[in-house]
A and B are shown apart, each in its own frame.
Chain A
């Protein structure tokens, strides 16, 4: 097994054996259920597509929060426990460490996200579910989740402990989210650029309606790649410090 696979397996084991993985999963599922009942189902009668739209809107928030909580421990916990040295002195590259950890967190986040599948399926009781809408919405959640994980992973690579990692990751994520607000007060062409860079507003909205634009897919993949490279570099630089 290669280094990425090894680290992936160990991290998955850590998620499944430690309480933190279950606490995050339970909290996300609970909040998703509450939000779905209170906002997506509650109130006036609505179309199935509107319910799905609201479901994906609220789920995007819980997915991002879960991603930050999952990512904050990935490297900072190793540093706190003194186990990072084991990986750093092994004949593997920093990018293998980062990739193995990222993929394990993404896999766990996928499990949590898929566990919410029963919520949109409840729409079938009184309405119709478009499987395409469902697939596209969940794909959007995973792309957004992957980007948020990569951002959180950078926080974890930079921070000395999990608390600081969480705060750093959340700070970076909020910064990426509120770029659309900054765009409002900026003049063109900066406005356009900030709108395009914002993590949620422009790029996630089509997914909520079951629409896929390749540019949005590319955007999320690019953000994920960028922050994974930054995390790798942050680990490499620490050897020189």
Chain B
């Protein structure tokens, strides 16, 4: 769906991005992760055809974003970090306007606007002036305008900014729902959101792509192993011995023991959670908790975002 080859973007003398190269397949939900100012928004604005790259090539659905810009723009829906809304329009008027602007025939614009409003749950406020909406609704209208023309690629720049926890949960579900019909590319500096939603993560630092892959691949890339945290009812020594028998486990150690419970840390070259659980249970241990280490990706992100040497 997206092919990016050696793309750079210069603002005057300053290099904001690149050179970066990556590919995104159709139907993927991919997250751009990086600290503020890392170059995420620049990359997304290039993909949305808002900016042109200083060098390199970008193809979306096989079409070049420079030579076939108008064709590409019909394929893309874009929500910038600040929703592009006209406060003096009603939600329904605005969505109809955007639908027509993005090439939907006038005869179908109303229908598409209604559909986008329904999908983003802003149909209840369709007659309200945009200027009177809360931040959460404004963000939803921003997403509605991005999907109103049924784009193949949906680009969302910091879609969770300014939302409260309930709105974040709703927004997360909304974006996951889009994955069935659109390829979704979103940026965030919030690791939790990215890991919840995305199939793949692209980590960007100082304009350069420093890592790409699934959450497991990134943590494995950083630490050479996947870390699993386990809490069992039973002896720590038995649990350690049992864990070490599982194929793929490279290390196991007891972190804490208290009141008959034991916390273990298991290192593995691969995701062995299923096998590990079976083995612990067959060893007569009660498995109370078994999960990938919560801090693993955070640690990897910190190291990748700030530079491995710096973080260490």
Contact = CB atoms under 8 A, between A and B. Distances in A.
Contacts of A90: 73, 98, 101-102
A86 B86 CA distance: 10
A82 B100 contact: no
Contacts of B80: 82, 85
B101 A3 contact: yes
A241 interface: yes
Interface string A78-100: 00011111111111110000000
B88 A1 contact: no
Given A85-B80, A241-B11, A91 B102 contact: yes
Contacts of B11: 241
Contacts of B101: 3, 6, 86-87, 90, 92
A239 interface: yes
A126 B24 CA distance: 78
A44 interface: no
Contacts of A91: 70-71, 73-74, 102-103
Given A90-B102, A91-B73, A91-B103, A13 B89 contact: yes
Interface stretch (B49-57, B192-200, B295-303): B49-57
A118 interface: no
Q: Contact size class for B?
A: 20 to 34
Contacts of A84: 84
Given A88-B50, A89-B78, A239-B50, A83 B86 contact: yes
Query: At the interface, is chain B mostly helix, strand, loop or mixed?
Result: loop
Contacts of A114: none
A239 B88 contact: no
Given A3-B101, A6-B100, A83-B86, A89 B76 contact: yes
Interface in A1-15: 1, 3, 6, 10, 13-14
B97 interface: yes
Contacts of A3: 101
A89 B97 contact: no
B106 interface: yes
B206 interface: no
B219 interface: no
A89 B73 contact: yes
Interface in A136-189: none
A85 B97 contact: no
Given A13-B89, A85-B78, 9 more contacts: A82-B80, A84-B84, A86-B145, A88-B49, A90-B101, A90-B102, A91-B74, A92-B70, A239-B50
Q: Nearest 8 A-B pairs (CB), nearest first?
A: A86-B84, A82-B82, A91-B73, A83-B84, A17-B88, A90-B101, A91-B70, A239-B52
Interface of A: 1, 3, 6, 10, 13-14, 17-18, 81-93, 239-241
Interface of B: 11-12, 45, 48-52, 54, 70-71, 73-74, 76, 78, 80, 82-86, 88-89, 97-98, 100-103, 106, 145
6 contacts: A10-B97, A17-B88, A18-B88, A85-B78, A86-B98, A239-B51
